[in-house]
Amino acid sequence: MARKVFILNGPNLNALGMREPGVYGSKTLQDIERDCRTYAETLELGIDFRQTNHEGVLVDWLHEANESAVGAAINPAAYGHTSIALHDAIRAISIPVVELHLSNIHAREPFRHKTMTAPVAVGVICGFGPTSYTLALQALANHIKDQ
């Protein structure tokens, strides 16, 4: 059985493909999930891909991932900039977490330049559109292998 990683998606990512395509691209979250599943197979990883608009659900999923996965990638979306709860959840678990964003948060509005979650993630990938997800999977696989 393949090692499993969670790929968690925060608020408004269910609207990808329709929401600000100039910023986030034209792929839907379902397209990105399909790409991740295909790429994860090459890494010999299984994935559990989820999306929610609710902060507490992301916290619960991080706790669940800690019990049943070898790592997690999270696109916290706007919650990354505001959520001490997500910071604390990532800090509290023992599996590695990679933070990712579709857009380059450092080239956007100043309030997006810092995330609450970055200091407790093993790394952050941003600015590569949907490819940010497969880059995060690769980084996570490498990190897990090196541990």
Distance between CA 35 and CA 131 in Å, rounded? Answer: 9
pLDDT of residue 24: 57
Terminal Cα distance for the chain, rounded: 20
Identify the residue with better confidence: 39 or 19: 39
**Annotated catalytic residue, options 39, 79, 101, 133:** 101
Instruction: Give Cβ neighbours of residue 139 (< 8 Å, ≥ 6 apart).
Output: 98, 122, 123, 125
Look up the domain containing 124 and give its range. 3-146
- What would the mean pLDDT of 116-135 be, rounded to a whole number? 96
* Exposure string for 50-74, b = 16+ CB within 10 A, e = fewer: ebbeebeebbebbebbbeebbbbbb
Determine whether 24 is an active site residue.
yes
Q: 63-106 pLDDT, tens per residue?
A: 999 999 999 999 999 999 999 999 999 999 999 999 999 989 88
Answer yes or no: are the C-beta atoms of 137 and 45 closer than 8 Å.
Answer: yes
- State pTM to two decimals: 0.93
Q: Where are the beta strands (DSSP E) in 57-122?
A: 71-75, 97-101
Query: In this model, does residue 1 exceed pLDDT 60?
Result: no
Structure tokens at 1: 């059985």
Per annotation, catalytic residue among 24, 39, 79, 133: 24
Q: What is the CATH number of the domain that holds 65?
A: 3.40.50.9100
pLDDT reading at 44 higher than 60: yes
Query: What is the domain count for the chain?
Result: 1
Mean pLDDT of 28-36: 96
Other C-beta atoms lying within 10 Å of the C-beta of residue 85? 15
pLDDT band per the 50, 70, 90 thresholds, residue 17: confident
Instruction: List Cβ neighbours of 38 (8 Å cut-off, separation of 6 or more).
Output: none
pLDDT greater than 80 at residue 25: no
